[in-house]
């Protein structure tokens, strides 16, 4: 990360064609390895300012998917919509496999060095790996696609497999642009991928002779290809050379546990619906899916914020300063959790009435939405430990914690769903995320003291959770649902106030930590 007011370092070839100093991606001791206190303050103080703009850009994917999904459900035949949903789930797994965690590993390595040379090489490595793994998946598709329920003559599998290297490349490009703090370029790439992909998919769908999932997927394929070409122009990825072997191996060692963690999280998020479908039937699985989408908004936002904050936090190499930043950032997010959780719970009855058919009994889904939203609390409590583990490259701890949580989620669902139905599945989600966060805490090495959460702040969040739970007993009539929704909208000023408060506390706290660290590092005398 470059200092404010200075241009980032560019890799310029000499007249002889040789590249400048080789960046191994290893943190070199010395003055350049740790930025000055004012630079740490400049980086970290952006967490609740500029970095939330990145979160806003990423949230476009969530918004467009939420808007387009009901359209597709009404336009596509039932079997075609089912195939598309399954194909999208397949795509999500393939992207995790194709990336092998290189996008996040690249963020960590670039945060250490502040240089683009290695990062651009890792983007090139990521593209080559994604192409290779996707080629294997495409050739072997006749072996595994029928087992997943896809018809042998349906082109949707081939098209969605084709999404994979393009989407993986866009993820790599976006990760580098985020690390470079190039907001305009980052926004251009992600807006084109999110809005352009959905728009192109709908255009192809409505102009095709038959309205099929393949037609919609083809529109997305074309847009992803155009987005990746733009991203390649913006970041100029490098093909790996023999001198890059060391850093490539290091990135893969960091990335593979993150890939395993990503797959485990996918299982954690999807297993409850599979258990419900097996024990209660597909209709109940559909009801749970609607409630989960509404309640899971808090967890999705936390995940986006986690990714946006990581480059700033990883760039702070001094332990004491980083712990201060992590503590203040986590406390700030907890401040935001109260209005978000209360707002989701209050808005849920009216939202469910609009998006869910009457046969889904929307009023009965309100407690499910609340519990799924409550699951964001253990996720948020564990996010500080995730940042510290990522910065210290203890990615195996992340993978093990996610695997244990996924297994726990399946086991708890099997126990609770027959007894409590959909409420049992939602309660299992809360418990599984709590297990995952506890695992992160156990994985923290001894001697690392991430700041504790202030007791009053935690009590405030628990009070908001209690108030949210109390609103479940308000009658589910149209009048009361409108009143609830109005109160949910009134949570927005509270949210903005908490955001300003978190930003101010972060700026003051980081400035103090930077001064303390600078003073303590001075030689005696």
- Percent of the chain whose predicted confidence (pLDDT) is above 90: 11
Window from 40-54, 264-278, 373-387, 430-444 with minimum mean pLDDT: 40-54
Judged by average pLDDT, the poorest of 99-103, 161-165, 395-399, 510-514 is 510-514
Domain of residue 464 covers 254-516
Mean pLDDT of 427-439: 92
Q: Which of 240, 266, 284 is the last residue of a domain?
A: 240
Give the model confidence (pLDDT) of 62-73 as tens digits: 777 767 776 776
Which tokens go with 397? Answer: 């701890």
Structure tokens belonging to residue 109: 């390595």
How far apart, in whole angstroms, are the C-alpha atoms of residue 49 and residue 70? 33
Q: Is residue 29 part of a domain?
A: no
Same domain, 235 and 329: no
Lowest mean pLDDT among 155-159, 279-283, 303-307, 445-449: 303-307
Please indicate, yes or no, whether residues 460 and 512 belong to a single structural domain of this protein.
Answer: yes
Q: Report yes or no: 146 and 212 within 8 Å, Cβ to Cβ.
A: no
Residue 522 maps to a domain: no
Residue 350 shares a structural domain with residue 394: yes
3-state secondary structure of 475: coil
Last residue of a domain, one of 210, 240, 270: 240
The total of structural domains in the chain comes to: 2
pLDDT over threshold 80, residue 171: yes
98 and 166, same structural domain? yes
User: Is pLDDT of 486 > 50?
Assistant: yes
- Choose one of 184, 212, 240: the last residue of a domain: 240
Is 9 inside a domain boundary?
no
**Pick the residue with more confidence: 1 or 226?**
226
Residue 230 has a pLDDT of 93
Mean pLDDT computed over 363-383: 89
Please give the structure tokens belonging to residue 333: 């997010």
In this structure, the answer to whether residues 193 and 276 fall within a common structural domain is: no
Supply the pLDDT for residue 9.
Answer: 34
Measuring CA to CA, which residue among 511, 275, 465 is closest to residue 372? Answer: 465
Q: In this structure, are 311 and 262 located in the same domain? A: yes
In a domain, 249, yes or no: no
Q: Which residue has the higher pLDDT, 347 or 24?
A: 347
Residue 228 predicted with pLDDT over 80? yes
Residues 148 and 184 in one domain: yes
Measured distance CA(61)–CA(164) in Å, rounded: 17
User: How much is the average pLDDT of 148-153?
Assistant: 69
Q: Label residue 48 by pLDDT band (50, 70, 90).
A: low
């Amino acid at each position: 990360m470059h200092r404010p007011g200075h241009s980032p370092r560019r890799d310029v070839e000499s007249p002889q064609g040789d590249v400048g100093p080789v960046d191994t991606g290893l943190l070199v001791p010395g003055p350049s390895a740790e930025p000055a206190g004012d630079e740490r303050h400049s980086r970290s103080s952006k967490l609740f300012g500029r970095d939330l703009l990145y979160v806003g850009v990423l949230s476009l994917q969530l918004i467009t998917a939420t808007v387009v999904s009901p359209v597709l459900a009404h336009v596509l035949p039932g079997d075609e919509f089912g195939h598309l949903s399954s194909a999208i789930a397949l795509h999500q797994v393939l992207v995790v496999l194709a990336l092998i965690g290189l996008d996040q590993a690249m963020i960590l390595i670039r945060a250490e060095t502040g240089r683009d040379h290695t990062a651009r090489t890792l983007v090139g490595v990521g593209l080559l790996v994604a192409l290779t793994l996707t080629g294997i998946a495409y050739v072997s598709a006749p072996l595994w696609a029928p087992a997943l329920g896809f018809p042998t003559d349906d082109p949707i599998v081939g098209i969605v497999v084709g999404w994979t290297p393009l989407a993986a490349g866009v993820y790599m490009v976006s990760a580098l642009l985020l690390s470079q703090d190039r907001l305009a370029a980052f926004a251009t790439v992600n807006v084109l991928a999110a809005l352009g992909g959905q728009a192109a998919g709908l255009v192809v769908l409505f102009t095709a002779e038959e309205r099929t999932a393949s037609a919609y997927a083809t529109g997305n394929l074309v847009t992803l290809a155009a987005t990746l070409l733009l991203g390649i122009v913006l970041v100029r990825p490098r093909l790996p050379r023999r001198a890059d072997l060391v850093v490539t191996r290091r990135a893969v060692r960091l990335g593979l546990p993150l890939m395993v963690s990503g797959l485990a999280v996918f299982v954690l998020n999807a297993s409850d619906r599979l258990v419900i479908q097996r024990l209660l039937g597909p209709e109940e699985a559909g009801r749970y899916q609607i409630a989960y989408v509404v309640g899971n908004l808090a967890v999705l936002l936390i995940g986006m914020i986690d990714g946006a904050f990581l480059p700033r936090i990883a760039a702070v190499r001094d332990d004491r300063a980083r712990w201060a930043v992590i503590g203040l950032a986590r406390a700030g997010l907890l401040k935001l959790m109260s209005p978000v959780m209360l707002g989701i719970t209050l808005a849920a009855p009216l939202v469910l009435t609009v998006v869910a058919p009457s046969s889904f009994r929307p009023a009965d889904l309100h407690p499910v939405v609340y519990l799924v939203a409550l699951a964001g609390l253990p996720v948020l409590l564990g996010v500080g430990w995730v940042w510290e583990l990522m910065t210290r490259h203890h990615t195996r701890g992340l993978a093990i914690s996610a695997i244990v949580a996924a297994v726990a989620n399946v086991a708890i669902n099997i126990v609770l769903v027959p007894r409590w139905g959909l409420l049992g599945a939602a309660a299992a989600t809360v418990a599984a995320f709590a297990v995952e966060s506890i695992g992160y805490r156990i994985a923290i090495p001894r001697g690392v003291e991430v700041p504790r959460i202030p007791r009053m702040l935690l009590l405030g969040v628990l009070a908001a959770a209690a108030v949210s739970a109390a609103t479940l007993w308000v009658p589910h009539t149209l009048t009361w649902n409108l009143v609830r929704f109005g109160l949910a909208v009134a949570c927005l000023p509270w949210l903005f106030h908490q955001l300003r408060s978190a930003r101010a506390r972060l700026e003051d706290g980081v400035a103090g930590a930077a001064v303390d660290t600078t003073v303590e590092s001075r030689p005696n005398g």
